[in-house]
Amino acid sequence: MAHAAPASGLRTPSARSRTPDVFSERTHRIASWATASVLGLVYGYWVAANNRSGGPITGWNLLLGFVSALVFAGLWTGLHALAPRMPRELHALLWAVFAGCAMGFLYNQTDASILRSTGMGLVVGAAAFVVLFFRYYTHEDAAGHRIR
């Protein structure tokens, strides 16, 4: 059976080649802030909606929503800046704890018991840890350097 011989002079794409980055550093910075802001507002609205359980919107409900949005966006931004500098285990653990706490607090606003809220947060956090650890583990070389 015949096989094709490799053509000399033709360049094959290496595993390290990437698509060019067409956006400037300023655009990436704005997108990072916009992502944190939008996710924070969505989370704050979700917390406020769960807290009022379909009842009327009150001032305290609005305050809870905006404070939750501010805290979520602040923690998201801090983790986004800090976590990539950590080893893969700690990187995955930080995001898993964030996801688990966010879900536990969100679920707690539905007037569920603290045990059930804690259990839901732990389940979501454990699932997030498994998924993120696998992702970070498969995107590093043998020396532990991230492949970008």
Q: At 19, phi and psi to the nearest 5?
A: -75, 150
Contact between 104 and 118 (Cβ < 8 Å): yes
What are the tens digits of pLDDT across the range 131-146? Answer: 999 998 888 776 767 7
What are the tens digits of pLDDT across the range 12-21? Answer: 555 556 677 7
Residue from 107, 102, 98 nearest 51 by CA: 107
DSSP secondary structure letters along 61-114: HHHHHHHHHHHHHHHHHHHHHHGGGS-HHHHHHHHHHHHHHHHHHHHHTTT--H
Q: pLDDT at position 9, please?
A: 54
Q: What is the pTM of this model?
A: 0.78
